[in-house]
């Protein structure tokens, strides 16, 4: 099979790939600011450009194995984002006075991992579009 037109699933995969370029930059800046004090902080920094690269290649060169790889990576990204949300929430709670508004404003950004998970889920949906 090959891409016959700019179908919705192809456009969504392109959007997902481009979004991971932007998200990857932001995640790298935030984690660099924290000196990568936890090794798990490297995961989204490494994953984001990989997700973007595979997505961009898939948009231009359709191959079934590439679509399956992209779907698997998007599943991993969704889980990674949810784990990141847990870790960021835990990080906010460890700050002085715990879960106060001030700590949500200056602590780890709890919405960024959810954005990561949501964009990954969108990519997964796009990859599985023909099977849904």
Per-residue pLDDT tens over the stretch 8-60 = 999 999 999 999 999 999 999 999 999 999 999 999 999 999 999 999 999 99
CB environment 98-132: b (16+ within 10 A), e (fewer): eeeeebbeebbbbebbebbbebbbbbbebbeeeee
Q: Which pTM value belongs to this model?
A: 0.93
CB neighbours of 15 closer than 8 A, spacing ≥ 6? Answer: 122
How much is the pLDDT for 124? 98
Q: In this model, does residue 132 exceed pLDDT 70? A: no
- Which residue from 122, 38, 42 is spatially nearest to 78, judged by alpha carbons? 122
The domain limits of the chain are 8-131
How far from 101 is each of 16, 21, 31, 105, CA to CA, in Å? 31, 30, 21, 6
Q: In this model, does residue 129 exceed pLDDT 80? A: yes
Per-residue pLDDT tens over the stretch 60-115 = 999 999 999 999 999 999 999 999 999 999 999 999 999 999 999 999 999 999 99
């Amino acid at each position: 099979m090959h891409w016959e037109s700019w179908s919705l699933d192809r456009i969504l995969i392109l959007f997902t790939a481009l979004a991971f370029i932007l998200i990857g930059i932001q995640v790298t800046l935030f984690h660099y600011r924290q000196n990568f004090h936890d090794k798990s902080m490297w995961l989204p920094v490494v994953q984001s450009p990989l997700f973007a690269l595979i997505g961009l290649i898939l948009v231009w060169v359709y191959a079934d194995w590439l679509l399956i790889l992209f779907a698997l990576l998007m599943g991993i990204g969704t889980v990674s984002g949810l784990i990141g949300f847990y870790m960021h929430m835990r990080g906010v709670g460890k700050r002085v006075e715990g879960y106060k508004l001030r700590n949500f404003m200056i602590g780890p950004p709890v919405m960024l991992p959810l954005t990561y998970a949501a964009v990954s889920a969108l990519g997964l949906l796009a990859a599985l579009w023909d099977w849904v």
